[in-house]
Amino acid sequence: MCIRDRVTTVRAGPGYSAADVVPTRTAEEAGTLKSGSGTAQEATNATKSNSDGTQGITGNAQALYDQLPKRLQTKTVATDGQVNTISGYGATLPKGYTYVDPAKVIQRAEEIGHDLRAAGAMDQGVPGQYSASHAEKQAIVNNPGATQVDVSRPMCKDCQAFYQAEAAAQNRPIVVSDPNSIRTFLPNGAVSVKPRD
């Protein structure tokens, strides 16, 4: 089975994500992606270039997570292959990790039109701060030109919606791999999902 046959494309808006959809047909069968169309080609190219082992970083975040001290193994790790980020608010990080102020993520969310999910007391008085502290959001805000981000835990719905808005704002595909899926966020708002084997 070729990669294209295993990619499913869904459209999801705020509050919805690819995880909310149980695909029953491939994107091409559903008519969402026409073979040879720009969107189909973007999804296929992004998936191939990042899953063939030559450019992909899939699995790197898990390896980084496995090296964390026990006290930090409640955190989530993300990497773009150059910079590593870890979930949370603190500026004191393990060696090899970059601090990204949640305020920068909040600012970027505003710029791209994404409403960060409120988390009540976990926001510590700053609406959206908890969601802004997620490692994969920090990674793309720290390096907006990253073509792929790998994360050690499955993406939450808010991070998926953030990446949809980011891909649209940058007008280019962005690939995010997690333990369950490899998602290609396309500039038109579509999300191609390839389950991890």
The answer to whether the CB of 183 falls within 8 A of the CB of 176 is yes
Q: How far apart are CA 94 and CA 135, in angstroms?
A: 14
Question: Any idea which residue has 């595909």 for tokens?
Answer: 173
Q: How many domains does the chain have?
A: 1
Domain residues for the domain of 134 are: 3-195
Q: What is the pLDDT of residue 196?
A: 87
The answer to whether the CB of 24 falls within 8 A of the CB of 8 is no
Q: How far apart are CA 92 and CA 45, in angstroms?
A: 38
Show pLDDT as tens, one digit a residue, over the chain (197 residues). 444 434 444 444 444 333 333 332 333 333 444 444 454 444 444 444 444 332 477 889 999 999 999 999 999 999 999 999 999 988 889 999 999 999 999 999 999 999 999 898 898 888 999 999 999 999 999 999 999 999 999 999 999 999 999 999 999 999 999 999 999 999 999 999 999 87
The answer to whether the CB of 152 falls within 8 A of the CB of 192 is no
pTM value is 0.74
Q: What is the pLDDT of residue 197?
A: 75
Rounded to the nearest 10 degrees, what angle do helices 157-170 and 102-112 cross at?
Answer: 60
Task: Provide long-range contacts, Cβ within 8 A and 24+ apart, for 25-33.
Answer: 27/192, 28/4, 32/190, 33/7, 33/9, 33/192
The answer to whether the CB of 51 falls within 8 A of the CB of 194 is yes
